[in-house]
Chain A
Amino acid sequence: MENSFIKALAGIVGAPNTLTDPESLACYGYDSTPELQSRPGAVLLPGSAEEISQVMALCHEAGVRVTPRGSGTNLSGGSISFDAGVVLQTSRLNRILEIDEENLTATVETGVITSALHREVEAKGLFYPPDPGSMNISTMGGNVAENSGGLRGLKYGVTDDYVMGLKTVLADGDLLKTGGKVVKDVAGYNLNQLLVSSEGTLGIFTEITVKLIPKPVAKKTMLVHFPQLEQAALTVSHIIAARIIPATLEFLDRVTIKCVEDYAHVGLPLDVDAVLLIEVDGHPAQVEEDAAGIREICERHHCSFFQTAAGPEEALKLATARRVALSALARMRPTTILEDATVPRSCIAPMVKLIQDTARKYDLLIGTFGHAGDGNLHPTCLTDERNPDEISRAHKAFGEIFEATIAMGGTITGEHGVGVAKKKYLPKLVGESGLRVMRGIKGALDPKGILNPGKIFSLTSD
């Protein structure tokens, strides 16, 4: 990137907020995605929507590429600039602008950390349900761009279900305002929803208005052991079929259980195929009824052990098993490749089995855990990046797993986004017409293709 251009950028955001030293560039050349790495041309830390707009206008004119970045926790390479362009980090836009208790909305700047919003709204007895595992780190902008989901997704939905309004800077620097505080709005195309999960390719969010709901008053947490995988999977489907919608319905497979137990000693059984972590919340009477219903279904499906948390402390202990799953797996081997295969809920058992078979076929260690209630599984391959043979087997295995996912009517990502990591699988999923429509939209909003280029799909068919 030319010096004069960098000077012009620094003129907008200020010299201390313009990073070009090799150390900074190296540190903004990665996100949480394994293996991927690059080096941007410059890193900008703008302080306002106005500055972002000016930066975009300048870059648009010069044809310089811009990659927005929140906290860089995405797992699909979405916030890495692969073409020595500008990385635009939103961390300085971090104010919670308003919590509107009359309209039940919150308006935040894009760089607000998700859990900070949780804290603020919960202090007022309100609730913002989306709770990605990364919520203590991820930004609201990143959540919207990836349409993040979380442990409460089954009952409460994902980010998309809560975004009411957005302020977005477009590729040429223009400001676009979509939606707002009105609950019903059918004027024209639903641009809000189009922008959610656009992975930074259509615009840069500066302000986000989300819907809030009342905080559930009661909850109950349960941990259930299943000697057989099929029974655990059937339990999941039957709980849903019985019209019980838990807030959380999480799954750990045998490999994961063993790792968790080896590492955290939380008292998990080593002789079972699966455990389910289930949480119900809502009105106290409803919670009791749901918990009883769930227990009955679990027992009917031959669970070997059913544990209900007596109080919040014990609930936390039970939830620990799920919360430390990734940690436990990550400690086993140097390189952790966490994937995001999502199938219809009825296909969980065959999917988990297929993952296990594929792991055996390629001689890999893969542990699977995830949001069983959503059909969203995280097969996690434990490898060593210094072993190219193992890494290539891992990629082959995931190729097969995704092929199977699509064949089952599933999708290649339930919450982490396509980015670059899963770009090659997208055409199979959406087909030629899907790609044509997406490219058309991209062309309309970002004719020069400067916003996060190379993510989700290629601009030309190749």
Chain B
Amino acid sequence: MDYVKLINCMRCGMCLPHCPTYKETFLETASPRGRVALVRKLQEGELVESEKFLEYVSLCLDCQACASACPCGVNAGELVAEFRCESKKEKGLSMMEDLVLRKLVPHPDRLEAATAPLRLYQKTGLQQVVRSLGLLKLFPEALGRMEGLLPKLPDAPLRQTISEVTPAAGKEKGTAGFFLGCVMSLIFSEASLATVQLLSTLGYRVVTPKAQKCCGAPNMLGHDLDGLKEAASFNTDLFDSFDLDFVVTDCGGCGAELKKYGQHLDGERKAEEFSASVRDISEVLFAESEALAAKLKPLPLKVTYHDPCHIAHCQGIRSQPRALIKLIPGIDFRELPEADACCGSAGTYNIEKPEMADLVLSRKVQNVQKTGAEYLVTSNPGCLLQLKKALSEAEPQVRVIHLTELLQMSMNA
């Protein structure tokens, strides 16, 4: 790991109030500043990789809220993740991690095959199937302990059912490539359909290449750098083979990863260009605000918005989703306190650190309660899963939906 990145931390503490685990514990060891110090001390030989040490660093959600807050450009979360990767590289992956992160998730076909029984046994044998397949650890933003509350799965993953080309409704403005993402396609296919429909309504021809692979985020988690590079160059080539104006995704996690392909492939020009062409759906829709507004019909709803870490902290997208919600006539938008704090989903975190995940999540739920909103909008599958589960228990009247679903609702109202 780059030592300079560690000593760049001036220990100002600006990151402390933004760190979800610090907010719950007020412990320096559970703060970004503390985590940088821990990793630095390890490198300097003042600490060893003890069990306690690993426990402390594994408490980090990798939500990157600290990076948004740091004046010096230090990214404590990423440094910790890097350390965990390196440590994993030495120790090797567990069989389960190897199976799930390397052999299963990165391959949409296998993943879809593996989840087929899920659909079959949605009501009856669901939990066992989930458990026996190790699906808990399966998704980039894991299902965690919420397998029993998995939303009803669509009949088939969107990747299999969507046509490769969706024509523009009316005059064609351009062509968008659509990157599906595993969890969106598997579980939230309706939201992704809404995404495609919105793009088409706005005059874009949407190309959804069937052959697309996983974005590579799970490879990153499994420290499978080769697999990551493979996914990156495969997807780059694939999308490059179509004549696209830009590539769009409605999954915050995928967007954040796709935007790093250039970096992953060491600045290779094609990958850089691909990364530069990637947009989160909210960026595209925001740019089309005027045209979109003309199509939106009133929805007299109280709505609030949760910033997914991969949208707000990793991609710096904050104002666009809010502006889009406010475009809907009659919407009563209520800002969520601590909107950009992690919901606790964070990959496989909520299985590995259930206690902390629960604390972080219940803070989120309380904040949602404070708004009095009827709809909680967000735009990342991990957050959708986590928040749907939590709110169905605590506030069943609050509906959790993807941004594009809300916009579609207004369009069809």
Contacts and interface: CB of A to CB of B under 8 A. Distances in A.
A113 B71 contact: no
Contacts of A32: 10-13
Contacts of B14: 134, 136-137
Interface stretch (B49-57, B153-161, B391-399): B49-57
Interface in A9-68: 21-24, 26-28, 30-34, 45
Given A23-B53, A336-B72, A113 B10 contact: no
Given A28-B28, A92-B26, A73 B7 contact: no
Nearest to A323: B71
Interface in A133-159: 134, 136-137
Nearest to A72: B13
Interface string A76-91: 0000000000000101
Contact of B4 (A31, A33, A137, A334): A334
Given A324-B71, A327-B72, A331-B72, A26 B47 contact: yes
A34 B10 CA distance: 7
Interface in A109-140: 113, 134, 136-137
A146 to B, nearest CB: 14
B177 interface: no
B71 A327 contact: yes
Contacts of B4: 334
Interface core residue of B7, B10, B28 (most chain A CB under 10 Å):
B28
Given A26-B47, A137-B14, A336-B10, 6 more contacts: A23-B53, A27-B29, A34-B11, A72-B28, A134-B12, A137-B13
Interface in B1-54: 4, 7-8, 10-14, 16-17, 26-29, 31, 34, 37-38, 41, 46-47, 50, 52-53
Given A137-B16, A327-B71, A331-B73, A26 B38 contact: yes
Contacts of A137: 13-14, 16-17
Given A26-B37, A27-B29, A334 B11 contact: no
A335 B10 contact: yes
A131 B17 CA distance: 16
26 contacts: A21-B52, A22-B47, A23-B29, A24-B27, A26-B41, A26-B46, A27-B31, A27-B38, A30-B37, A31-B11, A34-B11, A72-B13, A73-B13, A134-B12, A134-B14, A136-B14, A137-B13, A137-B16, A137-B17, A326-B71, A327-B72, A330-B12, A330-B72, A331-B71, A331-B72, A334-B4
Interface of B: 4, 7-8, 10-14, 16-17, 26-29, 31, 34, 37-38, 41, 46-47, 50, 52-53, 56, 71-73
A184 interface: no
A30 B16 contact: no
A138 to B, nearest CB: 8
A268 to B, nearest CB: 17
A330 B71 contact: yes
A27 B12 contact: no
Contacts of A24: 27-29
Contacts of B53: 23
Nearest to B6: A334
Contacts of B73: 331
Contacts of A72: 11, 13, 28
A27 B37 contact: yes
A335 B7 contact: yes
Contacts of B13: 32, 71-73, 134, 137
Nearest to B69: A136
A340 to B, nearest CB: 14
B26 A334 contact: no
A451 B288 CA distance: 63
B27 to A, nearest CB: 8
A21 B47 CA distance: 11
A-B pairs, top 4 by smallest CB distance, nearest first, are A327-B71, A91-B26, A27-B28, A27-B34
Contacts of A385: 7
Nearest to A328: B71
Nearest to B48: A22
A24 B7 CA distance: 19
B52 A23 contact: yes
A386 interface: yes
A393 B47 CA distance: 31
A113 B23 CA distance: 12
Interface string A303-339: 0000000000000000000001011101100111000
A319 to B, nearest CB: 15
Contacts of B31: 27
Given A22-B47, A23-B52, A27-B28, A113 B17 contact: yes
B10 A23 contact: no
A328 B50 CA distance: 36
A26 to B, nearest CB: 5
Contacts of B8: 334
Nearest to B30: A27
A324 B69 CA distance: 11
B322 to A, nearest CB: 14
A115 to B, nearest CB: 8
Nearest to A326: B71
A435 B29 CA distance: 38
B7 A23 contact: no
A31 B50 CA distance: 24
A92 B26 CA distance: 8
Given A31-B11, A73-B12, A23 B47 contact: yes
Contacts of A91: 26
A23 B56 contact: yes
A136 B7 CA distance: 23
Contacts of B16: 71, 137
A94 B56 CA distance: 24
Q: Name which of A94, A328, A331 has the most chain B CB atoms within 10 A of its CB.
A: A331
A213 B71 CA distance: 32
Interface string A328-365: 10110011100000000000000000000000000000
Contacts of A336: 10, 72
A331 B27 CA distance: 26
A23 B28 CA distance: 10
Nearest to B34: A27
Contacts of A134: 12-14
